[in-house]
Amino acid sequence: MPNITIIDYGLGNIRSLKNAFEHLGINSALSRDKAVILNSDAIILPGVGAFGHAMDILKEYDLVSTISEFALSGKPLLGICLGMQLLFDESEEFGMTKGLGLIEGRVRKLQNVHKLPHIGWSRLYKNIKSEKTILDGLNDKAEFYFIHTYAVGTDDAYILSSSKYDNAEFCSSVKKDNIYGCQFHPEKSGKFGLKILENFINIAREVKI
Protein backbone atom coordinates (compact mmCIF):
# COMPACT_ATOMS: atom_id res chain seq x y z
CA MET A 1 0.00 0.00 0.00
CA PRO A 2 1.29 3.52 -0.75
CA ASN A 3 2.44 5.67 2.13
CA ILE A 4 0.31 8.83 2.01
CA THR A 5 0.91 11.98 4.05
CA ILE A 6 -1.58 14.80 4.57
CA ILE A 7 0.37 17.98 5.23
CA ASP A 8 -0.68 19.30 8.63
CA TYR A 9 -0.06 23.05 8.75
CA GLY A 10 -3.18 24.08 10.62
CA LEU A 11 -5.45 24.83 7.64
CA GLY A 12 -7.80 22.32 6.07
CA ASN A 13 -10.18 19.49 6.84
CA ILE A 14 -7.42 17.07 7.69
CA ARG A 15 -9.51 14.90 10.01
CA SER A 16 -12.22 14.48 7.37
CA LEU A 17 -9.55 13.56 4.83
CA LYS A 18 -7.98 11.02 7.16
CA ASN A 19 -11.41 9.52 7.83
CA ALA A 20 -12.08 9.27 4.09
CA PHE A 21 -8.83 7.35 3.56
CA GLU A 22 -9.65 5.08 6.50
CA HIS A 23 -13.01 4.35 4.85
CA LEU A 24 -11.03 3.22 1.80
CA GLY A 25 -8.81 1.03 3.99
CA ILE A 26 -5.77 3.28 3.65
CA ASN A 27 -3.66 4.55 6.52
CA SER A 28 -2.48 8.13 6.11
CA ALA A 29 -0.14 10.23 8.22
CA LEU A 30 -0.71 13.81 9.37
CA SER A 31 2.62 15.61 9.40
CA ARG A 32 4.63 18.73 8.62
CA ASP A 33 7.96 17.00 9.18
CA LYS A 34 10.23 17.34 6.14
CA ALA A 35 11.62 13.79 6.34
CA VAL A 36 8.15 12.25 6.67
CA ILE A 37 6.83 14.24 3.71
CA LEU A 38 9.78 13.50 1.41
CA ASN A 39 9.70 9.79 2.26
CA SER A 40 6.00 9.53 1.38
CA ASP A 41 4.73 7.85 -1.78
CA ALA A 42 2.16 10.63 -2.21
CA ILE A 43 1.17 13.81 -0.38
CA ILE A 44 -1.95 15.91 -0.05
CA LEU A 45 -1.94 19.67 0.52
CA PRO A 46 -5.32 20.65 2.00
CA GLY A 47 -6.40 24.18 2.75
CA VAL A 48 -9.22 26.51 3.72
CA GLY A 49 -9.06 30.25 4.29
CA ALA A 50 -7.01 33.04 2.75
CA PHE A 51 -4.19 32.45 0.26
CA GLY A 52 -1.71 34.87 1.84
CA HIS A 53 -2.21 33.53 5.34
CA ALA A 54 -1.69 29.98 4.12
CA MET A 55 1.55 30.91 2.33
CA ASP A 56 2.81 32.66 5.49
CA ILE A 57 2.25 29.48 7.51
CA LEU A 58 3.92 27.28 4.87
CA LYS A 59 6.94 29.59 5.02
CA GLU A 60 6.92 29.61 8.83
CA TYR A 61 7.09 25.81 8.90
CA ASP A 62 9.68 25.74 6.08
CA LEU A 63 7.29 23.73 3.92
CA VAL A 64 7.58 25.68 0.67
CA SER A 65 10.90 24.12 -0.33
CA THR A 66 9.81 20.73 1.02
CA ILE A 67 6.66 20.66 -1.14
CA SER A 68 8.63 21.85 -4.17
CA GLU A 69 11.27 19.17 -3.62
CA PHE A 70 8.58 16.50 -3.34
CA ALA A 71 6.94 17.73 -6.55
CA LEU A 72 10.24 17.35 -8.40
CA SER A 73 10.49 13.71 -7.25
CA GLY A 74 7.79 12.64 -9.71
CA LYS A 75 5.61 11.21 -6.94
CA PRO A 76 1.95 12.32 -6.90
CA LEU A 77 0.85 15.47 -5.10
CA LEU A 78 -2.79 16.52 -4.67
CA GLY A 79 -3.89 20.01 -3.65
CA ILE A 80 -7.44 20.38 -2.34
CA CYS A 81 -9.49 23.62 -2.40
CA LEU A 82 -7.11 26.37 -1.18
CA GLY A 83 -4.38 23.73 -1.41
CA MET A 84 -4.98 23.57 -5.17
CA GLN A 85 -4.78 27.36 -5.47
CA LEU A 86 -1.47 27.41 -3.57
CA LEU A 87 0.09 25.27 -6.31
CA PHE A 88 -0.03 28.23 -8.72
CA ASP A 89 2.16 31.28 -9.31
CA GLU A 90 0.13 33.92 -7.50
CA SER A 91 -3.23 35.02 -6.14
CA GLU A 92 -5.09 38.34 -6.29
CA GLU A 93 -6.79 37.70 -2.93
CA PHE A 94 -6.20 40.70 -0.62
CA GLY A 95 -3.49 41.98 -2.96
CA MET A 96 -1.04 39.98 -5.03
CA THR A 97 0.65 37.09 -3.20
CA LYS A 98 3.13 34.62 -4.64
CA GLY A 99 2.23 30.94 -4.44
CA LEU A 100 4.28 27.76 -4.74
CA GLY A 101 4.73 28.23 -8.49
CA LEU A 102 4.40 24.53 -9.33
CA ILE A 103 1.82 25.23 -12.07
CA GLU A 104 1.64 28.36 -14.19
CA GLY A 105 -1.43 30.46 -13.50
CA ARG A 106 -3.13 33.05 -11.30
CA VAL A 107 -5.94 32.83 -8.75
CA ARG A 108 -8.74 35.38 -9.29
CA LYS A 109 -12.13 36.14 -7.73
CA LEU A 110 -15.12 34.50 -9.40
CA GLN A 111 -16.86 36.93 -11.77
CA ASN A 112 -20.45 37.26 -13.07
CA VAL A 113 -22.04 35.71 -9.97
CA HIS A 114 -24.79 37.07 -7.76
CA LYS A 115 -23.48 35.73 -4.47
CA LEU A 116 -20.13 34.72 -3.00
CA PRO A 117 -18.77 32.41 -1.82
CA HIS A 118 -19.89 29.60 -4.09
CA ILE A 119 -21.20 26.99 -1.68
CA GLY A 120 -22.82 23.83 -2.95
CA TRP A 121 -22.76 21.05 -5.50
CA SER A 122 -21.59 21.30 -9.10
CA ARG A 123 -20.73 18.94 -11.93
CA LEU A 124 -17.36 18.53 -13.61
CA TYR A 125 -17.01 19.08 -17.35
CA LYS A 126 -13.90 17.22 -18.46
CA ASN A 127 -11.43 19.16 -20.57
CA ILE A 128 -8.51 16.82 -21.28
CA LYS A 129 -8.08 13.06 -21.30
CA SER A 130 -9.05 11.77 -17.86
CA GLU A 131 -7.98 8.14 -18.03
CA LYS A 132 -5.44 7.26 -15.32
CA THR A 133 -5.99 10.62 -13.61
CA ILE A 134 -7.96 11.49 -10.48
CA LEU A 135 -11.09 11.74 -12.69
CA ASP A 136 -10.78 8.24 -14.11
CA GLY A 137 -14.12 6.41 -14.25
CA LEU A 138 -16.33 9.36 -13.26
CA ASN A 139 -19.39 10.10 -15.36
CA ASP A 140 -20.77 13.51 -16.33
CA LYS A 141 -23.54 13.30 -13.73
CA ALA A 142 -21.17 13.18 -10.77
CA GLU A 143 -21.46 16.24 -8.50
CA PHE A 144 -18.93 17.56 -6.00
CA TYR A 145 -19.05 19.92 -3.03
CA PHE A 146 -17.50 23.38 -3.42
CA ILE A 147 -16.92 26.28 -1.06
CA HIS A 148 -14.78 29.06 -2.53
CA THR A 149 -14.68 32.67 -3.67
CA TYR A 150 -11.59 32.48 -5.87
CA ALA A 151 -10.69 30.20 -8.77
CA VAL A 152 -7.65 29.42 -10.88
CA GLY A 153 -6.89 30.79 -14.32
CA THR A 154 -4.37 28.61 -16.16
CA ASP A 155 -3.45 27.09 -19.51
CA ASP A 156 -6.09 24.75 -20.99
CA ALA A 157 -3.41 22.05 -21.18
CA TYR A 158 -3.50 21.76 -17.37
CA ILE A 159 -7.28 21.88 -16.87
CA LEU A 160 -8.73 18.45 -16.15
CA SER A 161 -12.23 19.84 -15.68
CA SER A 162 -14.30 22.99 -15.52
CA SER A 163 -17.45 23.63 -13.50
CA LYS A 164 -20.24 26.22 -13.50
CA TYR A 165 -21.71 28.42 -10.81
CA ASP A 166 -24.33 31.03 -11.65
CA ASN A 167 -22.94 32.76 -14.77
CA ALA A 168 -19.34 31.77 -14.11
CA GLU A 169 -17.37 28.89 -15.58
CA PHE A 170 -14.19 28.06 -13.68
CA CYS A 171 -11.38 25.54 -13.47
CA SER A 172 -12.36 22.81 -11.00
CA SER A 173 -9.46 20.34 -11.34
CA VAL A 174 -5.97 20.37 -12.81
CA LYS A 175 -3.09 18.11 -13.75
CA LYS A 176 0.50 18.94 -14.59
CA ASP A 177 2.65 15.81 -14.77
CA ASN A 178 2.53 14.31 -11.24
CA ILE A 179 0.79 17.34 -9.70
CA TYR A 180 -3.01 17.34 -9.27
CA GLY A 181 -5.47 19.78 -7.82
CA CYS A 182 -9.20 19.92 -7.18
CA GLN A 183 -11.11 23.06 -6.20
CA PHE A 184 -13.87 20.95 -4.64
CA HIS A 185 -13.66 18.90 -1.44
CA PRO A 186 -13.53 15.17 -2.30
CA GLU A 187 -13.70 14.29 1.39
CA LYS A 188 -17.13 16.00 1.55
CA SER A 189 -18.44 14.74 -1.80
CA GLY A 190 -19.79 11.29 -0.96
CA LYS A 191 -19.08 8.28 -3.16
CA PHE A 192 -17.80 10.37 -6.07
CA GLY A 193 -15.33 12.15 -3.80
CA LEU A 194 -14.13 8.80 -2.47
CA LYS A 195 -13.59 7.73 -6.09
CA ILE A 196 -11.29 10.74 -6.57
CA LEU A 197 -9.22 9.72 -3.54
CA GLU A 198 -9.21 6.07 -4.64
CA ASN A 199 -7.90 7.13 -8.05
CA PHE A 200 -5.17 9.15 -6.35
CA ILE A 201 -4.19 6.09 -4.31
CA ASN A 202 -4.01 4.01 -7.49
CA ILE A 203 -1.76 6.62 -9.13
CA ALA A 204 0.54 6.49 -6.12
CA ARG A 205 0.51 2.69 -6.19
CA GLU A 206 1.55 2.62 -9.84
CA VAL A 207 4.37 5.11 -9.27
CA LYS A 208 5.61 3.06 -6.33
CA ILE A 209 5.70 -0.11 -8.45
Segment 105-148, tens digit of pLDDT: 999 999 999 999 999 999 999 988 889 999 999 988 899 999 99
Mean pLDDT of the chain: 95
Segment 36-64, tens digit of pLDDT: 999 999 999 999 999 999 999 999 999 99
Please tell me whether residue 178 adopts helix, strand or coil conformation.
coil
Catalytic member of 53, 185, 198, 206? 185
In whole angstroms, what is the distance from residue 167 CA to residue 27 CA?
A: 40
- Note the CATH number of domain 4-208: 3.40.50.880
81 annotated active-site: yes
pLDDT at 209 over 70: no
Q: What is the pLDDT of residue 12?
A: 81
CA angle 41, 14, 168 (to 5 degrees): 100
171 annotated active-site: no
Confidence label for 65 from pLDDT (cuts 50, 70 and 90): very high
Confidence label for 13 from pLDDT (cuts 50, 70 and 90): confident
Q: What is the pLDDT of residue 133?
A: 97
Dihedral sign from CA coordinates of 30, 199, 40, 172 = negative
Estimate to the nearest angstrom the gap between the alpha carbon of 184 and the chain centroid. 8
Taking the model in full, what pTM does it have? Answer: 0.97
Q: Residue 36 contacts by C-beta under 8 Å, 6 or more apart in sequence?
A: 5, 29
Beta pairing class for 150-154 and 103-109:
antiparallel
**Residue 68: count of CB within 10 angstroms of its CB:** 13
Residue 193 in contact with residue 186, Cβ under 8 Å? yes
Catalytic member of 171, 182, 187, 198? 187
**Mean pLDDT value across residues 74-100:** 97
Torsions phi, psi for 157 (to 5 deg): -65, -20
Q: What is the pLDDT of residue 62?
A: 96
Residue predicted with more confidence, 140 or 23 = 23
Q: What is the pLDDT of residue 114?
A: 94
Residue predicted with more confidence, 206 or 194 = 194
185 annotated active-site: yes
Catalytic member of 22, 81, 114, 131? 81
